[in-house]
Amino acid sequence: MFYIIVTHLIRGEMEMSKLVRFGVSLEEDLLAKFDRLIRQKKYTNRSEAIRDLIRNELVKKEWTENKEVTGAITLVYDHHTRELVTKVLDIQHDYHACILSTQHIHLDHHNCFEIIVTQGKSKEIEELYQKLKSLRSVKHAGFMMATKGKDLA
Ligand code: NI
């Protein structure tokens, strides 16, 4: 089977991206599964779904190559836990150069939710995440990789 899809050519930052078409051959069953998946994910067409897959892979590559990236770390913890708030703050001060902002939300009497927006070398951000995540009594830690967007169409 032969299908035509459309994607962007990724070029230099200042240059406008031009649309190009290319063909992809794949098994009918695999395409049926892909179509089901993109319907569930509310994509309106295959091209947009494929663009997203490509962009996600390029962002992952930026992270594995220790590029300048952005991201977000989330934490849920009980602020009554002895010394935990101090430790969370100490670690954030150690990594202040790669923290853009921190938002603290008091979920209830005990629990806090913190969103730490980061920017810097991916290895440093991952290190910050690991240090916060491994603190005893942190109930949940989440991590979202993002990109500064400069190299993506
Ligand atoms: Ni709080």
Per CATH, the architecture of 68-146 is what? 2-Layer Sandwich (3.30)
Strand, coil or helix: 64: helix
Task: Give the distance (Å) from ligand 1 centre to CA of residue 127.
Answer: 24
Does residue 63 register a pLDDT over 80? yes
Neighbours of ion ligand 1 (CB under 5 A): 79, 106, 112
Domain residue spans of the chain: 2-64, 68-146
- Going from the Cα of 56 to the center of ligand 1, the distance in angstroms, rounded, reads 33
Q: Tens digit of pLDDT for each residue in 83-127?
A: 999 999 999 999 999 999 999 999 999 999 999 999 999 999 999
Distance 140 CA to ligand 1 centre (A): 14
Q: Is the pLDDT of residue 15 over 70?
A: no
Q: From residue 74, how far is each of 1, 3, 69, 153 by CA, in Å?
A: 44, 41, 17, 28
Cα(79) to centroid of ligand 1, in Å? Answer: 6
Q: Find the helix packing angle between 122-133 and 46-64, rounded to 10°.
A: 80
